[in-house]
């Protein structure tokens, strides 16, 4: 069995599982990224997100995550919704409209690895989605799936940036896609100009400690700093401004993943509904939603912050 056949098999399995794109790069240490990540951490742009500094050596070397790693398979899954929220006074990031993507993608990666083992043989591999020490955007760019825009997101020329990125590292030699070396942002600065908290800096550097998503999801403090008052533009969970204004997202098409069907409450809740929500109801309605990441207390804190 040759590498070409194995590569085609993996790409067809990915397609059958509903992934929109699949690209493959050679597994090797990311020395350039190591320098960039170190500089970013030294400036404190990770805020209270200490986990971003943990496992530094694992982030930059796939061989430390999967012994004998030969290939990094990157998969993109579209989450752009067909419907938008009806209440613009309490905004929620589009990625959180449906079921929690971590669970959805984890089960797909498990099935993908299973199919590889059943059809190719005893392959050692590990799947990652967002929560592990993997520089997924770099691998996506190395496998030709897009470029990293000024807003720090991976942008795909055909479909924009409303994608989740998943990574599968395997100890199997495959055919590698050509990296995308061109940057198609050009002189456009819409994401920088429109960021409500000026979190997007030049040279594709994002000050995570200023991002609305950081304050509304990652920050575990009981209060959001007063300095941010009036800057959240009604975003209660996450923020999509830098993606919404990106010209490449005119190519976004609604996803066809059943698990990302928006919760009616997310589309239709008024401010009043959010305020009257009890913890018991929150746990019941949002039990499969990414909103549970910030917990009930976090939702109440965010709501209070954007309304006063």
Residue ranges of the alpha helices (H) in 90-206?
101-120, 136-142, 190-194
Which pLDDT belongs to residue 131? 65
| Distance from C-alpha of 158 to C-alpha of 122, rounded to nearest angstrom | 35
For the segment 15-33, the average pLDDT, to the nearest whole number, is 94
Q: Rounded to the nearest 5°, which phi and psi values hold at 123? A: -105, 135
Specify which residues 216 forms β-bridges with: none
Question: Which comes out higher in pLDDT, residue 219 or 43?
Answer: 219
Which pLDDT belongs to residue 204? 87
| Distance from C-alpha of 45 to C-alpha of 127, rounded to nearest angstrom | 27
Residue 82 banded pLDDT, cuts 50, 70, 90:
very high
Active site residue 273: no
Cβ atoms within 10 A of the Cβ of 168, count?
25
For the segment 135-141, the average pLDDT, to the nearest whole number, is 93
Residue 50 banded pLDDT, cuts 50, 70, 90:
confident
Residue ranges of the alpha helices (H) in 143-200?
190-194
CA nearest neighbour of 152 among 133, 136, 171: 136
Residue 1 banded pLDDT, cuts 50, 70, 90:
low
Residue 53 banded pLDDT, cuts 50, 70, 90:
low
| Catalytic hit among 57, 130, 221, 273 | 130
* Model pLDDT for residues 143-156, shown as the tens digit of each residue: 999 999 999 999 99
55 has a pLDDT exceeding 80: no
pLDDT mean across residues, the chain:
92
**Percent of the chain surpassing pLDDT 90:** 80
| Length of the chain (residues) | 308
Asked if residue 151 lies in contact with residue 137, where contact means CB atoms within 8 angstroms, the answer is no
* Model pLDDT for residues 225-250, shown as the tens digit of each residue: 999 999 999 999 999 999 999 999 99
Which pTM does this prediction carry? 0.94
278 has a pLDDT exceeding 90: yes
For 50-160, strand residue ranges (E) read 71-78, 91-92, 125-128, 147-148, 154-155
Residue 95 banded pLDDT, cuts 50, 70, 90:
very high
* Model pLDDT for residues 182-206, shown as the tens digit of each residue: 999 999 999 999 999 999 998 888 9
Specify which residues 78 forms β-bridges with: 163
Which pLDDT belongs to residue 11? 98
| Distance from C-alpha of 182 to C-alpha of 143, rounded to nearest angstrom | 13
């Amino acid at each position: 069995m040759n590498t070409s056949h194995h590569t085609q098999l993996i790409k067809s399995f990915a397609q059958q599982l509903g992934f929109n794109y699949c690209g493959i790069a050679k597994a090797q240490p990311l020395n350039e990224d190591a320098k960039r990540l170190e500089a970013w951490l030294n400036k404190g742009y990770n805020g209270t997100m200490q986990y971003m500094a943990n496992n530094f050596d694992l982030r930059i070397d796939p061989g430390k995550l999967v012994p004998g790693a030969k290939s990094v398979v990157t998969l993109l899954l579209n989450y752009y919704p067909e419907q938008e929220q009806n209440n613009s006074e309490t905004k929620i990031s589009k990625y959180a409209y449906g079921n929690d993507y971590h669970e959805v993608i984890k089960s797909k990666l498990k099935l993908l690895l299973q199919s590889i083992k059943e059809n190719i043989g005893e392959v050692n591999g590990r799947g990652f989605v967002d929560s592990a020490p993997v520089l997924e955007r770099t691998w996506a760019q190395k496998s030709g799936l897009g470029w990293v825009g000024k807003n720090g997101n991976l942008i795909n020329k055909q479909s924009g940036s409303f994608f989740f990125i998943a990574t599968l590292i395997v100890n199997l030699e495959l055919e590698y896609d050509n990296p995308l070396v061109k940057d198609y942002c050009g002189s456009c600065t819409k994401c920088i100009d429109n960021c409500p908290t000026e979190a997007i800096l030049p040279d594709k550097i994002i000050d995570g400690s200023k991002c609305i998503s950081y304050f509304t999801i990652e920050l575990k403090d009981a209060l959001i700093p007063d300095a941010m008052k009036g800057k959240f533009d009604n975003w209660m969970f996450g923020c999509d401004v830098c993606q919404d204004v990106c010209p490449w997202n005119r190519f976004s098409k609604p996803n066809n993943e059943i698990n990302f069907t928006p919760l009616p409450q997310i589309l239709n809740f008024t401010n009043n509904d959010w305020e009257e929500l009890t913890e018991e109801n929150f746990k019941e309605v949002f039990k499969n939603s990414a909103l549970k990441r910030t917990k009930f207390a976090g939702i109440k804190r965010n709501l209070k912050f954007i309304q006063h």
